[in-house]
Amino acid sequence: MQLIDTHVHLNFDRFEADLEAVRDRWREAGVVRLVHSCVEPAEFAGIQAIASRFPEIAFAVGLHPLDAHKWTDSTREEILALASSDSRVVAIGETGLDFYKADNKELQKTALEAQLFVALQLKLPVIVHCRDAALEMAGLLRDFWDRFGAVKGVMHCWGGTPDETQWFLDLGFYISFSGTVTFKNATGIQESAGAVPEDRLLIETDCPFLAPAPKRGKRNEPAYVRYVAEKVAKLRNVSLETLAAQTTQNACQLFGLPVTQSSEIPDGALKAAVARAAL
């Protein structure tokens, strides 16, 4: 079984001490590819360094809406240049709107639109963060599509109702579920996870945040995407294997990731484990 964790932040301090062990666990869990998100362009070199250590990692570059205060006249050019500089870049983001406690909504929209332009120009998908802003987001995207053309993308760590989910499906987006879908009170999210068409469904951890049940409250890590997969499979009445195969194919499709041979990563992990045991 192969899984793809479509949203990770492994460059955060909380992974510094034990990233090799974290890697061993994701390989054991069947995670064959990961998409590393980016909250500001200053992270780029650090993310590149991590991807150089772990070849299954592809990554994005962008500015998170909660960092919108860092947006300047040159940020668009910076993101464009970085995204063009490395063939491992598979997306622009994460960008979006976060209106929970926001006092800079217009600036967030400016940064989002500019990043949509970069994505359009480079024919890359966008990774979209959307909190308390589904209506404004759908309106902004519809308007952008009408004026300039559609951009591919994913609503990441999705927390919307089935109605809101449909708005973004209609815009052509993929919908990605994280550990929040496993939380007891998450009935709206669970309903959405059951309703997304199988060819638009993705899974992620958004680690180190939002660890799924039964790891809730702990540091999240890519291996736990398996708990997300198990929960979403149950909600959709399909087997874990079916869910894994479908979401892996979708992630490869959206991000242009190479499809892996079934034994490619697990064999490597096995050899590494054998080598460690022999020491």
149 torsion bin: left (phi>0), alpha (psi -120 to 50), beta (else): left
Least distance to Ni ion from the beta carbon of 108, Å?
15
Q: Which stretch binds Ni ion (CB under 5 A): 33-41, 144-152, 160-168, 264-272?
A: 33-41
- Torsion angles phi and psi, residue 58, rounded to 5: -105, 170
Binding mask 203-232 for Ni ion (x = CB under 5 A): ---x--------------------------
Binding to Ni ion by residue 11, rule CB under 5 A?
no
Size of the site for Ni ion (CB under 5 A): 2
Q: Nearer to Ni ion by C-beta: 67 or 206? A: 206
Q: Nearer to Ni ion by C-beta: 189 or 233? A: 189
Q: Nearer to Ni ion by C-beta: 180 or 269? A: 180
Q: Cα Rg for the chain, rounded, in angstroms? A: 18
- Measured CA to CA, the distance from residue 160 to residue 140 in angstroms comes to 17
Least distance to Ni ion from the beta carbon of 242, Å?
27
Cα angle for residues 16, 21, 24 (degrees, 5° grid):
135
Could you say which of 2, 6, 11, 37 contacts Ni ion (CB under 5 A)? 37
Q: Nearer to Ni ion by C-beta: 37 or 246? A: 37
Question: For 148-169, b where at least 16 C-beta lie within 10 A, e where not — what string?
Answer: eeebbbbbbbbbbeeebbbbbb
List of residues contacting Ni ion (CB under 5 A): 37, 206
